[in-house]
Amino acid sequence: MLGLVRISFPKGCMEAMLFNSIEFFLFLPLVTLIYFSLPLQGRRVFLLFASFVFYGFFSVPLSLLLVFSTVLDYSISRYIQNSSHAKKRKAALLASLIGNLGVLAAFKYLDFFSYSLAALLGYHPWPVLNLVLPMGISFYTFQTMSYTIDVYRGDCKARESILDVALYVSFFPQLVAGPIMRGTSLISQFNEYHKPNLERMLSGALLCCWGLLKKVYIADPVGDLVNSAYGTASSPIDPGMFSGWALLLATYGFAVQIYCDFSAYSDIAIGSSRILGIRLMKNFDAPYLSCSIRDFWRRWHISLSTWLRDYLYIPLGGSRISKIRMYVNLTITMLLGGLWHGANWTFVIWGALHGLYLAFERHFQLEDARKSRWGFPGQFIRGVITFHLVCLAWIFFRANSVGQAFEIVSRIATWEPGRGLSIFPVLCLALLLATQLAKQHIHFGERLLHYPTASRWAVYATLALVGVVLLGSPSPEFIYFQF
């Protein structure tokens, strides 16, 4: 029973303004038009208003949590900066952490631990609340915590204007699923007067189109086939009917799906911000080309991995302590990173696996992907091993229960016979398309700026038309919206 607890949005209960919806691609140009028509202070106020409108599509009452986070961290950060008493500063920081993590725990983990204890005790130790999970709460909670911690450390000055902090908490392009930005790099940009720049705006729009193409043409079709083997929480499927080969292909498919889905969200978030003249950090860097797990985490969800490193692993002692303690710290960091993703023991096991991978690499000094005794063949072999270790962990991330995950691993390991899965041709096509999109993303955008004006606008018009067609078809929400 422990593996069956999975918190997600109740379908049909609330409707978010998805990045892959017509509503958002009407909302963004309207916000851009009004934003650039206002003076600096007016822009800041309007951007905050637009961000709350964006979140209000999901839930107006739950948007009050953004207000709570803003007021809490603004007040405490000001107190910390103005206080010279070490114990009072620590107490204020602790109050901020308890406030932020308390809200996150109440909405995301209270029922999870109640169900888990009920499985052990035979009864629920407290009433099950069945609270709706606020959209993006894990992301904006970590972001606001980093601001207060940075003020406490002296890495960032507490802002005098609460509007600065409110924008930092609620900026709509990265509000729901990151990238998780630091106050030192984002808040100052809200105080810069960005002139409309056609090339920058078109570059941002192009990045949004790449993201939309990855989401609709790769992530969603592959995801449908993955669901046919893994099932969903609401429509479980017995993996025992499938062969080990079919389940392995479905796992490869999920690796493709989650990368294309999450990197697509990041592309649209970064592109939308770029249109407004605001820079967000890069969140992915070809993670499946990694030659070690440490290298993978330098390339995958970069904003989260650096957050865990700076605010959890290093404060625990990092690598400056005994080897045993260092291995324990790595495992604790990744365990909590797994739990951050969702209230399910499958996520905890996923995090634990990555923690063990990192500890193993550190013990045998395998984490530096640039070193190999056998040159390119050695790098290739390491890359294949790393990819399959990541896929093994993905099984637990994707499975609907711990039991289902272990059954899938067992059937793949023993190569059990069973029903096939017609995912192989689709998977090959998706990999080919993903590779081509990655290449075009890197090179085409730069080349396009040097095309004749008529050619460039023909490309822009074509991409806009493709976007309209894609937005006219139903598409699932982004995977990371539920975190």
Catalytic residues: 341
CA dist., res. 40 & res. 191, Å (int): 7
Task: Using only the alpha carbons of the chain, give its radius of gyration.
Answer: 23
- Residue 346: other Cβ atoms inside 10 A: 26
Instruction: Output the six-digit token pair for 397.
Output: 């991330």
Residue corresponding to tokens 């009407």: 26
CA dist., res. 81 & res. 84, Å (int): 8
CA dist., res. 253 & res. 267, Å (int): 21
Task: Please report how the helices 402-413 and 375-398 are oriented relative to each other, as an axis angle in degrees rounded to 10.
Answer: 140
**Which among 334, 289, 245, 233 is positioned nearest to 5, based on CA atoms?**
233
Distances 313 to 287, 308, 387 between C-alpha atoms, Å: 21, 6, 24
Helix (H, G, I), strand (E, B) or coil at 191: helix
CA dist., res. 220 & res. 232, Å (int): 14
CA dist., res. 294 & res. 11, Å (int): 37
**Which among 78, 68, 96 is positioned nearest to 311, based on CA atoms?**
96
Instruction: Output the six-digit token pair for 128.
Output: 């099950």
